[in-house]
Amino acid sequence: VAPTYIENKRELLNLDKRKHKTVLGLFASDHMPYNLEAGISDPSLSEMTQKAIEILSQNQNGYMLFVE
């Protein structure tokens, strides 16, 4: 199954965890901007982590998430 591709904060926050089991989020062509330099369309690390937990927590076998 191909992952759902998202590329901005709006798509991340509107992602329905019940419809998408695998997600690929590429939010920058290089590195993500620092929090103070982030634009309105850039998701924060906490937003990305929260959405990852929402999606991964559906797995009855558990999951491992590494956030750096």
Instruction: For the beta carbon of residue 43, count every other beta carbon within 10 angstroms.
Output: 22
* Residue 31 neighbours by CB under 8 Å, 6+ apart: none
Q: Rounded to whole angstroms, how far apart are CA atoms 23 and 1? A: 10
Residue 37 annotated as lining a ligand binding site: no
Binding residues for Mg(2+): 68
Binding site, by residue number, is: 68
